[in-house]
A and B are shown apart, each in its own frame.
Chain A
Amino acid sequence: MEQAYKKYRSNPLAIVLFIFAAITLSILSARSISSKIPVIISISFVYLIIMAVGVCITAFILAIPNNELRKQVGMGGLLSLAFNGFAVFFPFAVIAIVSDLMLGWGAAQAITIAGIFTSVSMLSSDFMKAKVSRAGSILLSMLASFIFIILYSSCGIIAGVINVISNLKLNQ
């Protein structure tokens, strides 16, 4: 695993792809909630924080059964491994851009959720290389995906409610 970890850590392109995808999906998700630029910027910022928190939580959950990995790479290494793994968000960000700008769907939130599922399952397979049992890894990846998606969806719901309330106040 240490060898695999070194390979991921030495790949800054993966981190760049993840940051690009996270920013893109955050902005497109925020755009589907409101059309006002200050609101889009603030909601995007919250989404970005939630994505970072979600990736950290995923890393810690997937590392629970793997003492060996935690000792070898430490907390910083786990996070680095997780952020590299989440580069799988990139295809979903590109699909979200095309679907939003070319096809006119506001489906960024659904696309992000599909991206979270795929990224977490791929990340768990990275952790499985470190001899985590298959059943345990599937259960933990489901738990991590579930927590991440609840965090992400709750942000959308809260932002949507605040947006509706502020629009009602403006209309009054």
Chain B
Amino acid sequence: MKLRYIFHPAEILTAPFSVAALLSSFIVSGLAFALFFLQTSLDSGTDHVSTLLKGILFGTIGISIISIFIWLFAKISGSTVSIPAAISAINCSYGTTLIFVLVGLVLHFLLRWSTSVSCGITGVLAALGPMSGVIMIMTKYKKMPAIFIMTFAGLSVILFWGLLNNLI
């Protein structure tokens, strides 16, 4: 996988499909959510190992399920993108989250700040930026379907995170 896919995940949709890109995208989103969930447990003082595992599962399986729904909604609005390409592009969108949570962890260990909301949630929201490019390509630049798919994508991640961390 090319490193620039983390910053421009929409390019995955136009590049030839590769299994390596798909597998690497799982590492990106898995790591992003593992560290994001770890931040939550560091802030709240809950069991780090189980929270980390929840993060890995959510970042890989959970995000893939959300990606399949996104692909389905985009398909209804005329998308011709394949499921594996959609999954790898959406997983790679969380590369932005990974950068935010890494900064958050550094701040936590250096300054003892609680960073799960300030860096973690902000990172998840920042991922909507590159993801919007992916969704626009998938919906063939139809703005209204793209906006509703973005709402679904952002909301589902926030709600699942709240549910998995017993915040709801």
Complex CA–CA separation, A7 to B55 (angstroms) = 42
Do A111 and B125 contact each other (CB < 8 Å), given the known contacts A103-B168, A105-B117? yes
Instruction: Evaluate contact between A105 and B121: CB separation under 8 angstroms.
Output: yes
Asked whether any CB of chain A lies closer than 8 Å to the CB of B126, the reply is yes
* Contact code string B112-151 (vs A, CB < 8 Å = 1, else 0): 0000011001100110110011001000000110010011
Closest to B153 in A: A91
Instruction: Evaluate contact between B151 and A90: CB separation under 8 angstroms.
Output: yes
What is the interface of chain B mostly: helix, strand, loop, or mixed?
helix
- In the complex, the number of residue pairs spanning A and B with C-beta atoms less than 8 Å apart equals 73
Instruction: Evaluate contact between B133 and A102: CB separation under 8 angstroms.
Output: no
The number of chain A residues touching the other chain, given as a range, is: 20 to 34
* Contact code string A56-91 (vs B, CB < 8 Å = 1, else 0): 000000000000000000000000000010011011
Asked whether any CB of chain A lies closer than 8 Å to the CB of B158, the reply is yes
Among B125, B153, B155, point to the contact of A110 (Cβ < 8 A).
B125
The interface of chain B, by Cβ under 8 A from chain A, is: 117-118, 121-122, 125-126, 128-129, 132-133, 136, 143-144, 147, 150-151, 153-155, 158-159, 162, 167-168
